[in-house]
Amino acid sequence: MIKKLLPALFITMLTVGSSYAQKANFKPDAKLLKTIDADYKKAVTQYKLMATKLPPDQFPKTYFSATDKFETSGSGWWCSGFYPGTLLYLYQQSKDPALLNEANRIMQVLAKEQYNTTTHDLGFMMYCSFGTALTVEPKPEYKQILINSAKSLATRFDPKVGCIKSWDSKKSDYLVIIDNMMNLELLFWATKVTGDSSFYKIAVTHANTTMKNHFRPDYSSYHVINYNPQTGEVQQRKTAQGFADSSAWARGQAWGLYGYTVMYRATKDKKYLAQANHIAKYILNSPNLPADKIPYWDYDAPGKPNALRDASAAAVMASAFLELCRYADAKSGALYFRAAETIIKNLSGPKYFAAAGTNGGFILEHSVGSLPAKSEVDVPLTYADYYFIEALNRYKNFKRK
C-alpha cells in the first residue's frame, strides 16, 4: 500500500531560498554579472557548434584537441543528461530556439532510459535533463518519465545495506560511491509529485548510511565503500578515480558537498546542513586547495603545484556553495559565496573557458575524468559545462532573504 506523507511535508521540500535563509545580504558583483552575460553568449555559440558534430542518436562525452577527435556515447552512458540539461539552461537565458529544438531532439533519444535499472545514475541522466525541462519548457509527458525513472532507481536500493547500489560487481560485493548522493534529488521530487513516501525514505536512508561510512574524521570522503550484501557491514573503503584509498578525490568531495546541501533543502534536517558545512570547511581549509579555488584532481595528488586541475570539480563546488550559503550562518555563508565568486571568475578566464570555435564546442577545458584509468584526462567534460552554467544561473539570480 502506498504510504502518503503529510501535506505539510511538501511545503518544506525542495524550496530554495526559504525562511531558513539568514538575513545577511550578499550582493553579486556587477562586473562579474557582465562577465556571466558574456559567458552565456559564448556558451550558446559553443553548444550550437557542438550540435553540428553529433552523429544521430549520440551524446557528447569529450573532445581531444591534440587529435581533433570528438568522442560520443549512447543514451545509457551516465553523462547523457548533461548535454540536454545545458542546452535547456542556455535556452532559458538566450531564448534561442535552436537550443530548445536540439534539447527536444536528444531527449527523445534519452527517454527510454527511464526504464534502465542497471544504473544508479538516473538522477544525472534524467533529472538533469527532463527535470530541468520541467522548469524551462515543461511538457506533460516529462512528469511520467521522471516518475518511471525514480521507480527504476529505487529498484537498486537494498534495505539490508541501507544504500542504492552503484556498480554491479561480483555477488560478494555491494559497491556504493559518493557520486550517488547526486541522484537522490530525483527521489525527493518523486515523493513530492506522487505522495509516495517510499522514494523519500530510500533517499534519507541512503544519505544516512553514506554519512556514517563514507566520511573520515576530517570530513573528507572515500570514493567507494564495499558493503557485505548479506549483513550490510563495511568490507572495504577504497578509491577508483582518486589517487589512493586514503586520498580525497576532488570531484568526490564536490559530490558530497552538493549532495548534502540538497539533503538539507529537501528535508530541513539540520544534521544534513551540518554535514554540508563540515565538507565545505574541509574543502576551503585544505592546504592543498589552490588560491584560485580550482582544485587539483585529488587533494592529495602527487606533483603539486603542477598536478592537473579539475574544472568539473570546481564547477560542482561553485554551484553547491551558491546554494549552501543561503542556509548557513552569515559568516560561513559569506565565505561560501565568495568562494563561488572566485571559482566563477577563474573558470570564466582564458585558462579554462575555451576560445570560440575550439574545444569541440565544449565550454570549459581542463577536467579530469579518471586519471588512474587514463580516461578523460585533462579534457572537456559535459558535467563540467552543466554545473558551470548552473552556477552562473544561481549567481545571476541570487537572492538571500
Active site residues: 121, 179
DSSP 326-345: HHS-HHHHHHHHHHHHHHHH
Judged by DSSP in three states, 309 sits in: strand
Cell 563514507 identifies what position?
214
Residue 71: CB partners within 8 Å, gap ≥ 6? 60, 61, 62, 63, 64
* Phi, psi for 150 (deg, rounded to 5): -65, -40
Type of residue found at 303: G
From the number of C-beta atoms within 10 Å of its C-beta (0-12, 13-18, 19+), residue 356 rates as exposed
* Phi, psi for 81 (deg, rounded to 5): -80, -15
Residue 167 pairs with which residues in a beta bridge? 175
| 305-339 burial: b if 16+ Cβ within 10 Å, else e | eebbbbbbbbbbbbbbbbbbbbbbeeebbbbbbbb
> Sign of torsion, CA 367 370 375 381?
negative
Cell 570530513 identifies what position?
219
Rounded Cα–Cα distance for residues 175 and 349 (Å): 38
Rounded Cα–Cα distance for residues 377 and 374 (Å): 6
DSSP 256-289: HHHHHHHHHHHH--HHHHHHHHHHHHHHHH-TTS
Residue 177 pairs with which residues in a beta bridge? 224
DSSP 136-195: HS--HHHHHHHHHHHHHHHTTEETTTTEE--B---TT-EEEEGGGGGGHHHHHHHHHHH-
